Chains A and B, each alone.
Chain A
């Protein structure tokens, strides 16, 4: 069972908030003694999802949690926006697919960088992405 040890909800509306949030994620990751490589992976994944949220979802909230399962500690990030939603999830998860002339690696790349990845979206209502990275995962 995964237990949440601390919660911190941050609003993201501008591009400057990406840097702020990245620093917060780093603080949390350092706190649970996550290794440098995993830290960088988590921060990069967070950065991808944040940019998506800003660009396609018109901003939203990011919940930063320290979670624990047995002996393992980890960081769980939940990104919630009230944007237009994603009509085709499997297409969005495909490498190189983008509706916005970018590399199209954000979602699939983020998934590869973390241990757990969950994408929920409803057209017209918004999108929620949850990622989890264990300190030693």
Chain B
């Protein structure tokens, strides 16, 4: 006759929770700044209830079974919130592993026979190991979501269109210019040209670390699109090493107006618009 560890665990649910909480609170990695003890307790209780209830099923080894779905759901929810709250992987791991400790301690206390104890312990271990793997998968997924969101935010904030003068727009590009980035840059620029009725746009690439043929192709496309809108596009911020590289690569930028710095590009734009910047002499009254 096989021993029914699930019945035992159900009976000992309270004990397990107490033991687990004690483990967690004693752990030096406890993050009271991120989660209050009450919340932690509620979280733990929910997980234990669902876990113990599902242990009643015979398929303790088959973690793909439908019976496990509620447990996995709860655990996944906890892992994702933890990832967002900024828990470290170690802290999240401790959360699950300390439960395993608590379960094994209870088993050890209640089962006298060594053979049964070993069998039941390894069963519980397997279950908990599987659950830990799921926790980590979800935790990492949660982290990746955070990164993706940040990437989107960076893409949005890093392409500002600045009105430097009436009729002159400047667009400092910082970082690598890839296809999706170019799309955003182009959209923002063309939209701003329409809204402000500007006739000159300055693309400053001082902050672009390397100009390879793909980046150059994107720049050429942006310039062509700007010209179609009836505005002139100047590319500024070409550093000496970039100029040499572009020449060696064989990229033809000769029909684009390029300047070394944003200042010279602005001076050129003033000249085109027939504007003059003058130093005034202050006359004392």
A-to-B contact residues, CB < 8 Å: 15, 18-19, 22, 36-37, 39-41, 43-44, 47-48, 51, 95, 102-103, 105-106, 108-110, 112-113
Asked, given contacts A18-B176, A19-B176, whether A105 binds B241 with beta carbons under 8 Å apart, the answer is no
| B210 with A43: CB separation less than 8 A | yes
Q: Chain B's interface: helix, strand, loop or mixed, by majority?
A: helix
- Report B61 CB to chain A, min CB distance, Å: 35
19 further A-B pairs in the complex, CB-CB below 8 A; given A47-B212, A109-B251: A15-B178, A18-B176, A37-B241, A37-B245, A39-B241, A40-B241, A40-B242, A40-B244, A43-B210, A44-B249, A48-B214, A51-B212, A95-B250, A103-B213, A105-B213, A105-B250, A105-B251, A109-B250, A113-B248
Please provide the 3 A-B residue pairs with the shortest distance between their CB atoms, ordered closest to farther: A109-B249, A40-B241, A47-B212
Chain B residues 215-231 with CB under 8 Å of chain A are 216-217
**List of A residues within 8 angstroms of B211 by Cβ:** 44
- Report B244 CB to chain A, min CB distance, Å: 6
Chain B residues 170-210 with CB under 8 Å of chain A are 176, 178, 209-210
> Is B65 at the interface (CB under 8 A from chain A)?
no
**List of A residues within 8 angstroms of B245 by Cβ:** 37, 40-41, 44, 113
Q: How distant is the Cα of A43 from the Cα of B212 in the complex, in angstroms?
A: 9
Q: How distant is the Cα of A108 from the Cα of B213 in the complex, in angstroms?
A: 11
Q: How distant is the Cα of A19 from the Cα of B214 in the complex, in angstroms?
A: 14
**List of B residues within 8 angstroms of A48 by Cβ:** 212-214, 249
| B178 with A103: CB separation less than 8 A | no
- CB closest residue in chain B, given A55: B214
B-to-A contact residues, CB < 8 Å: 176, 178, 209-214, 216-217, 240-242, 244-245, 248-251
| A22 with B210: CB separation less than 8 A | yes
- Report A52 CB to chain B, min CB distance, Å: 10
| B214 with A102: CB separation less than 8 A | yes
**List of B residues within 8 angstroms of A112 by Cβ:** 248-250
| A103 with B217: CB separation less than 8 A | yes
- Report A28 CB to chain B, min CB distance, Å: 15
| B241 with A36: CB separation less than 8 A | yes
Q: How distant is the Cα of A106 from the Cα of B176 in the complex, in angstroms?
A: 17
